[in-house]
Amino acid sequence: MYLVAMLGNMVIILTVSSDSHLHTPMYFFLCNLSFADICFISTTVPKMIVGIQTHSRVISYGGFLTQMSFLILFGCMDGMLLTVMAYDRCLCYVEPQNLTGALEFLLLGFSDDQELQPLTFSLFLAMYLVTLLGNLLIILAIGSDSRLHTPMYFFLSNLSMADIGLSSTTVPKVLLDIQTHSRVISYAGCLTQLSSLNFFGCLDSALLTVMAYDRCPGYIKPQNLSHVSDIFLLGLSNDLELQPLLLGLFLSMYLVAVLGNMLIILTVSSDSHLHTPMYFFLCNLSMADIGFISTTVPKMIVGIQTHSRVISYGGCLTQMSF
């Protein structure tokens, strides 16, 4: 698979470079996408092949850090290039009365049913406010308590800011369009939204990766050095007085997220007007969100309650897989 991927992308690069008819913006981006794909798969697969050949299952902390950094970098580069290629090839909607004006995109929206607009508006407004207030609460709590001025909480505070930026990239525009019954977005506005979405999404991933490095050193059981280790989690804080606050904070966010997504699923399922492809995907997105947050948060809550900081290798592997 590695050789096929390498050769396939190399053929694309050589074909585009050697044929002057292909020296267009789209093929330029395609060529760069092939290069990014080669780098992306070369980040981990060669190490895996060497590990299989040498029967070695160990990777140094520095090597792991390098792999994850390049994985995120080239993954984000792939996303940005695909976005730019979509701009280059997307059919634009031009207002007939102003053919000389700027190009605009016509947004289809969630539904044409006017009766559903208040429900859609309330749903998105509630989710946006909960996200905004929850992240602001985290930032204010960390900023006001000197005991939380540690690297982990610094990253958590920045993660909350990135989450606010990510949700504020598109949701306010959606709310405004629902209120004004407008479905048009300018080319520049669409470009700005997608660029910001990619930026804050990548920033989220980078911060989560750094937080994982900061808090998850390996813990080897002394009685069983020949077998796979457990993972010893350092946790967010060693202060027992902060444990109830952390428990309440994460439990409330988890319940709000689960109930919010369950409400979306039940609303879409119970209303026949919402049985459209867009709401079908929205329903599945809510199910995926529930699965995503249920992968780690319940274990974290149980760990805070039981004061346990150990997770088995199998449990960690299962969490990371999901």
Residue ranges of E strands in 223-301: 230-232
Give exposure, 30-44, as e/b (b: 16+ Cβ within 10 Å). Answer: bbbbbbbbbbbbebe
CA distances from 41 to 55, 198, 209 (A): 21, 21, 19
User: What's the CA gap between 62 and 68, in Å, rounded?
Assistant: 10
User: Mind listing the pLDDT tens digit for each residue in 145-171?
Assistant: 888 887 778 888 888 888 898 888 888
Lowest-pLDDT choice from 12-16, 19-23, 72-76, 82-86:
82-86
Higher local confidence (pLDDT), 137 or 240: 137
User: Mind listing the pLDDT tens digit for each residue in 252-289?
Assistant: 888 888 888 888 888 888 888 878 777 787 888 888 88
C-alpha closest to that of 37 among 7, 67, 69, 68 = 7
Q: What is the pLDDT of residue 322?
A: 67
Give exposure, 217-256, as e/b (b: 16+ Cβ within 10 Å). Answer: eeeeeeeeeeeeebbbbebbbeeeebbeebeebbbebbeb
* Residue % of the chain over a pLDDT of 70: 79
Specify the amino acid at residue 204: D
Other CB atoms closer than 10 Å to residue 1's CB: what's the count?
7
| DSSP SS3 for 184 | strand
Helix 61-89 × helix 25-42 angle, to 10°: 160
Q: What residues does 105 pair with on adjacent strands? A: 185
Q: What is the pLDDT of residue 187?
A: 72
User: What's the CA gap between 140 and 142, in Å, rounded?
Assistant: 5
User: Mind listing the pLDDT tens digit for each residue in 91-126?
Assistant: 444 444 444 444 666 766 666 677 777 877 887 888
Q: What helix, strand, coil percent values describe the chain, rounded to 5?
A: 75, 5, 20
What are phi and psi for residue 198, nearest 5 degrees?
A: -65, -40
* Residue % of the chain over a pLDDT of 90: 1
- The C-alpha angle 70, 150, 320, rounded to 5 degrees, equals 40
Q: What residues does 218 pair with on adjacent strands? A: 231
Report, in angstroms and rounded to the nearest whole number, the Rg of the chain calculated over CA atoms.
Answer: 24
166 and 204 Cβ atoms separated by less than 8 Å: yes
100 and 262 Cβ atoms separated by less than 8 Å: no
131 and 167 Cβ atoms separated by less than 8 Å: yes
236 falls in which pLDDT band (50, 70, 90)?
Answer: low
pTM over 0.75: no
Q: What is the dihedral of CA 43, 52, 313, 299, to 10 degrees?
A: 40
